[in-house]
């Protein structure tokens, strides 16, 4: 048995280990403390349990967490960025304190857009006079209208009005684009992927203006150059960091800590036996 996600002083469970091993005859191979990992978010519940150091943050970012928000891993680089104060917004609150609002991916874009209108966040985003970034489904919401003639994103076919920040229409097609490649967006060359039914004739990959930006691509913040470009435009004092190096260090430390607390030899010996 391995005791996982133990909160508090591990020594307080010494008697528990004795009871499990002596009374139930089950070997305890280790006790692993609850440690915020901040990577590999599986769903919205795991995403909301992130841990962030905001003591030196200089930019405040709000992510609109609509009911069917998707692609949570897009925000891993922002969670571990000490210059970013990241918050997820799931109710009708004032947006004045944020420097950037992000509309993330969505499993059901039109339904999430309707939800924004229903709770009142739509009007707040519409009147937000600072920076807005849309990713995939969030990008689609920034267009003038979204046509879903095959009822892919809603229960019935129809057209939903978007924010009209981008002068084109989104049309949902039956065939889904599934692609992983090297792309050129926002004057940066990045590795990313697409997964969407939507199409835009005028802006098939991304849109870029002084205040409004958007793209169909996921994992854009993994790229240091693109991340630096976006946030330096918001605050010239933003310094940036090497995300892949930091991610490797965090994973290595995480694994080393768990190896130290687990009886690895006993596990291997039993596997061999």
Hey, where are the domains in the chain? 2-37+251-272, 44-240
Q: What are phi and psi of 51, to 5 degrees?
A: -120, 130
3-state helix, strand, coil in the chain (%, to 5): 35, 30, 35
Sheet with 188-199, strands from edge to edge, namely: 158-161, 143-148, 166-185, 188-199
Catalytic residues, which ones?
136, 218
pLDDT in tens, the chain (273 residues): 999 889 889 888 999 999 999 999 999 999 998 877 667 666 666 666 667 888 899 999 999 999 999 998 899 999 999 999 999 999 999 999 999 999 999 999 999 999 999 999 999 999 999 999 999 999 999 999 999 999 998 888 999 999 999 999 999 999 999 999 999 999 999 999 999 999 999 999 999 999 999 999 999 999 999 999 999 999 999 999 999 999 999 889 888 988 889 998 888 888 886
44-240: which CATH topology?
Answer: Rossmann fold (3.40.50)
pTM of the model: 0.85
pLDDT at 271: 83
Q: Give the separation between CA 201 and CA 210, rounded to whole angstroms.
A: 21
Distance in angstroms (rounded) separating the CA atoms of residues 102 and 90: 12
Of 199, 220, 198, 216, give the one whose Cα is nearest residue 207: 216
What is the pLDDT at residue 254? Answer: 84
């Amino acid at each position: 048995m391995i005791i996982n996600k133990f909160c508090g002083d591990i020594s307080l469970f010494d008697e528990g280990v004795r009871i499990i091993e002596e009374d139930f005859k089950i070997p305890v191979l280790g006790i692993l403390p609850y440690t915020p990992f901040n990577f590999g978010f599986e769903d919205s519940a795991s995403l909301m349990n992130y841990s962030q150091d905001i003591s030196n943050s200089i930019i405040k970012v709000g992510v609109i967490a609509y009911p069917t928000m998707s692609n949570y891993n897009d925000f891993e680089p922002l969670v571990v960025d000490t210059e970013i104060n990241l918050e997820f917004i799931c109710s009708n609150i004032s947006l004045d304190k944020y420097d950037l609002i992000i509309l993330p991916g969505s499993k059901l874009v039109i339904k999430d857009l309707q939800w924004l209108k229903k709770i009142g966040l739509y009007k707040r985003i519409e009147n937000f006079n600072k920076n807005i970034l849309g990713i995939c489904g969030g990008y689609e919401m920034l267009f003038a209208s979204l046509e879903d003639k095959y009822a892919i994103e809603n229960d019935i076919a129809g057209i939903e009005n978007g924010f009209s920040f981008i002068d084109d229409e989104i049309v949902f097609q039956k065939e889904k684009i599934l692609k992983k490649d090297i792309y050129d967006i926002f004057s940066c060359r990045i590795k990313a992927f697409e997964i969407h039914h939507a199409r835009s004739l005028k802006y098939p990959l991304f849109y870029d203006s002084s205040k409004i930006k958007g793209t169909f691509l996921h994992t854009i913040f993994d790229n240091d150059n693109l991340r630096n470009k976006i946030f330096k435009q918001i605050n010239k004092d933003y310094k940036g960091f090497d995300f892949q190096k930091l991610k490797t260090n965090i994973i290595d430390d995480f694994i080393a800590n768990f190896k130290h607390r687990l009886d690895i030899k006993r596990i291997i010996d039993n596997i061999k036996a």
